[in-house]
Structure 1
Amino acid sequence: MAQQWNVQGLDEAITAGAADLSTVEWSAAVADAATGDVLWSHDADRVLKTASVGKVFLLIEAARQAETGELDLDEPVQRLPEDLVADSGLWHVLDLEALSIRDACALIGAVSDNLATNVLVRRLGIDRIGDTGRSLGFTASALLDRVREDRGPQHPPTLSRGNAAELVRLMADLTRGRIVSPAVSARVLGWLALNTDQSMVAAPFGVDPLAHTEPDNGFVLRNKTGTISTARIDIGVCDVDGGDGGLAWAVLANWSDEVDLRDAVLERMTAIGAELRGALRQTVTDRPVAG
């Protein structure tokens, strides 16, 4: 019997608040992770910039090539001067000139490492990353390029793009083992379990942001976030400890650079997360007592 979820408060969660968010472009959706059924959506087909969220497609390709034997995750990859970018990540402040592909993927999952991303894009190939994404049915959502400090007219206009309709399906399909294979899906979720950014939709779950590979605070959480000065994006899946799927989400917000709306957007994203936490907790309350 399908789980009955109470997500009636999500419309208010995304629109309430005193701040004027009329200029924010939203694309959002919530799905039952066990079935893939969409439970709620708000302009879910709208394609927006997704910043670092597109790096999930890189992780999928690394896991796929490892499964087929094309790639050895223990292979060392060298950073080159053209790969270097500052901003998110750790590798650019470390002395190590080379890392294993496995460790580079872990850095991307944990801290959205830009240098590791660029090294792996060069190693795996942006075209192959895109081909795999399209073969899985993701036509609006993709990693388009390497990370660049300066993006000119000769480059793709943004690092990645996507919409909530596809990205919530991505998270549900990872949970159900349908992204390439159960082994590939599990490996990607393992990397996402390292994510240290719980500032958006995931904030109300209250997990330890530095240590939640195992159930924490009663929840099992996996997510990927993306941030630039005019965008906040969170895609993820969360279940109560001992559950069998939980809720998947994709919440994307873009705005113009005329006014910094990040605080108001984060307030709305956190409100969405609070609704999801309440729905998940309700499933525990509704479970029949054994015996």
Structure 2
Amino acid sequence: MSSDQTTADPAVTPALAAIFADAQAEGFVHVRDLDGPAEVSHRADERVVLASVFKIPILLEYARQAAAGHLDRQARHTVTAEYRMGGSGSDGCRYDIELSTRDLAHLMMSISDNAATDVLLDAVGEANVRATLDALGFPGFGVSGCRALDLPVRRELGMADGADFDTCVARATEEEIRQLSVRDPARVPSSTPREVADLLAAIWHDRAGTAEACAEVRAVMARQVWQHRLTSGFEDGVRIAGKTGTEFGIRNEAGVVTYPDGRRYAVAVFLRTRSMAERDPRADAAIGRAARVAVDWLRG
């Protein structure tokens, strides 16, 4: 943290801790004013599993290449069974479908479509995503394809080839789920809340690419449909552009909150929950509550 930045007063940390305790979760937070020096931090420099938050730099690389004319937004890509693991969007399609490059990015961010993510990652090149993150000063920000994360889970739970993923997970014990490598920030894409918020700041200030590229990232992130985490903490009229991330016992969201007066706040909230349940509404709501507490302090 640079010397001209300001951390929150001591009252904010207990408020955040109480929110996370009520949700039976560990919380990691960094929220910064994008138009001033103030910030709120709570375990902001500890490494956390990104889950689908790692899709933000994939989107950024797509937008940079498209703005530079190296990638055609209208080019057609086929989402085949090789990419489909079951889930939202094209992930749950029974037959092959064709999408434009731009629509792959849209589905990746709006509904966290994993198949679209991997097709897009193949198009932009994972090495290029890594090189861009390194060049921007984010060497610790992890990135991966979704299949690369799914396959170890299948192996660790002893799933037979072709076995239904959800059925096998439902049969696993809680301890087997807790031991999965996908929950370990040392073994899967990870970062820190501070680094994630700093990447968002670079995008919102047009430092992560050209103005055209950064504007496209912001526009695509504003189309996320989920209302149960970050958005749940803010009333109508406050604009939210974000990306969720979910794994076993892990619930995240990173995004930018923009108020009607134009003030903007980069928010990164990561949770590790005690429960391994697929549904955990208290934890989901805690993300919005924590973000609101931090933003309210920053607004003074």
Shorter-chain-normalised TM-score: which range? 0.7 to 0.9
1:232 aligns with 2:233: no
Instruction: Report SS of the residue matched to 1:134.
Output: helix
Instruction: Report SS of the residue matched to 1:16.
Output: helix
The 1:87–1:159 alpha-carbon spacing in structure 2 relative to 1, beyond 3 Å, is farther
Q: Deviations over 1:209-232 (max 9, x none)?
A: xxxxxxxx2222211111112111
Residue of structure 2 in register with 1:162 after alignment: 191
- Output the aligned Cα RMSD: 3.1
The 1:90–1:279 alpha-carbon spacing in structure 2 relative to 1, beyond 3 Å, is farther
- Alignment match of 1:246 (pick from 261, 264, 269): 264
Amino acid across the alignment from 2:50: T
Q: Deviations over 1:186-231 (max 9, x none)?
A: 100111010011212321213xxxxxxxxxx222221111111211
The 1:171–1:60 alpha-carbon spacing in structure 2 relative to 1, beyond 3 Å, is same
- Give 1:122-137 correspondences, 5 Å limit: 122-137=122-137
- Give 1:19-58 correspondences, 5 Å limit: 19=21, 24-35=25-36, 37-58=37-58
Q: Deviations over 1:25-74 (max 9, x none)?
A: 43211101124x35111121111111101001110110111122110111
- Alignment match of 1:14 (pick from 8, 13, 16): 16
1:279 shift after superposition: 5.1
- Kept in 2, the 8 Å contact 1:33–1:248? The answer is yes
Q: Which runs of 5+ in 2 are unaligned?
A: 157-180
The 1:261–1:116 alpha-carbon spacing in structure 2 relative to 1, beyond 3 Å, is closer
1:278 shift after superposition: 3.8
Residue of structure 2 in register with 1:89 after alignment: 89
Residue of structure 1 in register with 2:210 after alignment: 181
Residue of structure 1 in register with 2:138 after alignment: 138
Instruction: Report SS of the residue matched to 2:215.
Output: helix
Instruction: Report SS of the residue matched to 1:65.
Output: helix
- Kept in 2, the 8 Å contact 1:14–1:269? The answer is no
Amino acid across the alignment from 1:186: A
The 1:7–1:71 alpha-carbon spacing in structure 2 relative to 1, beyond 3 Å, is farther
More helix by share: 2
CA distance in 2, matches of 1:9, 1:272: 13
Residue of structure 1 in register with 2:152 after alignment: 151
The 1:38–1:159 alpha-carbon spacing in structure 2 relative to 1, beyond 3 Å, is farther
1:247 shift after superposition: 1.2
The 1:261–1:78 alpha-carbon spacing in structure 2 relative to 1, beyond 3 Å, is closer
Q: TM-score, normalised by structure 1?
A: 0.79
Amino acid across the alignment from 2:141: S
The 1:127–1:9 alpha-carbon spacing in structure 2 relative to 1, beyond 3 Å, is same
Residue of structure 2 in register with 1:275 after alignment: 293
The 1:38–1:151 alpha-carbon spacing in structure 2 relative to 1, beyond 3 Å, is farther
**What is the aligned length?**
266
Instruction: Report SS of the residue matched to 2:150.
Output: coil
The 1:227–1:170 alpha-carbon spacing in structure 2 relative to 1, beyond 3 Å, is same
Instruction: Report SS of the residue matched to 1:83.
Output: coil
- Kept in 1, the 8 Å contact 2:17–2:27? The answer is no
Instruction: Report SS of the residue matched to 1:142.
Output: coil
Q: Percent identity?
A: 25
- Alignment match of 1:220 (pick from 225, 239, 248): 239
Instruction: Report SS of the residue matched to 1:202.
Output: helix
Q: Which runs of 5+ in 1 are unaligned?
A: 207-216, 284-291
The 1:257–1:203 alpha-carbon spacing in structure 2 relative to 1, beyond 3 Å, is closer
1:20 shift after superposition: 6.7
Q: Deviations over 1:240-275 (max 9, x none)?
A: 1241x4111111112466688944433432321332
